[in-house]
């Protein structure tokens, strides 16, 4: 094996329990995008074992994959556009999100034999998914024959605790909720908060919080909320890879495509068997790997299947050794936060982009 992502399911469980305790309400565990790269089925089962009451996915295919794997817990799928296979969702007891009258009409047609369970999504200010102008047109005949079980929206700026938009969205959600309740829908699941809001906006918890990035032990925003350790979270993914080759090179040696960097001294270079085809950002700079108790920075451009690190002239590394690309940071290694910063991106993207060529191994992290 030349690379592996080691997933600590005990960390996943600890994070779910922390978020449930912190919010004081039910937790929907967000496992979309292959559980943010951590492995859909295994993470979903761990989250339910830890006390999550519902699972959340973006796509119907993800929900069906969970059902095929024997997961019986409640699942909400929230990106089913008109034309989707709503009947399959209904037949497999998958809750459906609806954000338009057109979608509701198709869900009604698919509900002839069995009522769909629907969560209405409303746009409270993010201007992404959800009812907005159509909300005022909604009436009883649009929801006849289906079961409205939830109302939800999504914060745009919950990772910025002082942002005025947070209160504006909360106020708008309450107003839209009041409209729905006036139609007689009072026994529904009210959910608005994401991971960041669960930390910063206790008034927005309602009946359930949707926990995504925090479940994986990563901060929604390191700058505004602090890192994983400060939030009490345990990062669950460690990415490791082997050194294909270690070799001595003189000072002034160009490295990688375009020779964009030169070695500043006589040194040892290590070729790491992982590249942008595996999810390593090609744009990354100021990141690297951890080996033999020290960091070795990237030098040159990341290639499709490999990248090069400067091990230093005194390095004892040899071809075939394993390096940690990122981990929980407890030993001094680079973290997903570090790689996100080095790529002008965020930790979410770092874990979710780890490709299928990298097997997921479940167990404790290795150093």
Residues belonging to the active site: 32, 257
For residue 298, what is the DSSP state?
B
Instruction: Kindly report the backbone phi and psi dihedral angles of residue 351, in degrees, each rounded to the nearest multiple of 5, phi listed first.
Output: -75, -40
For 27, half-sphere exposure in the C-beta direction (CA atoms, 13 angstrom radius) is 28
Buried b (16+ CB within 10 A) or exposed e, 160-188: beebeebeebbebbeebbeebeeeebeeb
- CA quadruple 208, 41, 349, 291: dihedral positive or negative? positive
State how far the Cα of 317 lies from the Cα of 332, in Å rounded to an integer.
17
- Radius of gyration over every alpha carbon of the chain, rounded to an integer in angstroms: 23
For residue 114, what is the DSSP state?
S
Residues in contact with 83: Cβ distance below 8 Å, sequence separation at least 6, in sequence order: 106
Q: Work out the end-to-end distance of the chain between its first and last CA atoms, rounded to an integer number of angstroms.
A: 16
State how far the Cα of 365 lies from the Cα of 239, in Å rounded to an integer.
9
| CB of 232 closer than 8 Å to CB of 244 | no
Q: How far is CA 137 from its chain centroid?
A: 34
For 357, half-sphere exposure in the C-beta direction (CA atoms, 13 angstrom radius) is 14
State how far the Cα of 254 lies from the Cα of 299, in Å rounded to an integer.
9
Please, what's the largest Cα pairwise distance for the chain? 77
Counting Cβ atoms within 10 Å, is residue 5 exposed (0-12), middle (13-18) or buried (19+)? buried
């Amino acid at each position: 094996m030349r690379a592996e992502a080691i997933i600590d399911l005990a960390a996943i469980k600890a994070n779910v329990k922390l978020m449930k305790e912190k919010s004081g309400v039910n937790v929907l565990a967000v496992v979309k995008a292959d559980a943010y790269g951590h492995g859909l089925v295994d993470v979903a089962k761990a989250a339910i074992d830890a006390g999550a009451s519902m699972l959340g996915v973006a796509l119907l295919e993800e929900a069906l994959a969970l059902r095929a794997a024997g997961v019986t817990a409640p699942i909400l799928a929230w990106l089913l556009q008109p034309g989707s296979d709503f009947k399959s969702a209904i037949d497999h007891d998958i809750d459906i999100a609806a954000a338009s009258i057109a979608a509701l009409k198709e869900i009604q047609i698919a509900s002839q034999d069995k009522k769909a369970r629907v969560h209405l999504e409303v746009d409270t200010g993010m201007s992404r998914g959800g009812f907005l102008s159509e909300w005022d047109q909604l009436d009883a005949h649009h929801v006849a024959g289906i079961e409205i079980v939830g109302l939800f929206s999504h914060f745009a700026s919950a990772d910025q605790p002082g942002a005025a938009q947070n209160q504006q969205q909360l106020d708008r959600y309450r107003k839209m909720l009041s409209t729905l309740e006036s139609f007689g829908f009072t026994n529904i699941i009210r959910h608005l908060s994401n991971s960041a809001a669960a930390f910063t906006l206790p008034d927005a918890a309602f009946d359930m919080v949707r926990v995504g990035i925090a479940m994986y032990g990563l901060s929604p925003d390191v700058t505004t909320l602090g890192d994983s350790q400060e939030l009490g979270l345990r990062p669950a993914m460690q990415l490791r890879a082997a050194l294909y080759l270690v070799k001595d090179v003189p000072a002034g040696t160009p490295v990688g495509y375009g020779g964009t960097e030169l070695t500043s001294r006589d040194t040892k270079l290590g070729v790491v068997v992982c590249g942008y085809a595996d999810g390593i950002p090609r744009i990354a700079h100021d990141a690297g790997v951890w080996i033999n108790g020290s960091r070795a920075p990237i030098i040159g451009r990341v290639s499709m299947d490999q990248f090069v690190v400067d091990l230093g002239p005194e390095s004892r590394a040899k071809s075939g050794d394993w390096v940690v690309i990122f981990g929980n940071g407890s030993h001094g290694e680079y973290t997903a936060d570090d790689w996100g910063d080095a790529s002008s991106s965020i930790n979410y993207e770092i874990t979710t982009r780890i490709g299928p060529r990298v097997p997921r191994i479940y167990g404790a992290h290795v150093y």
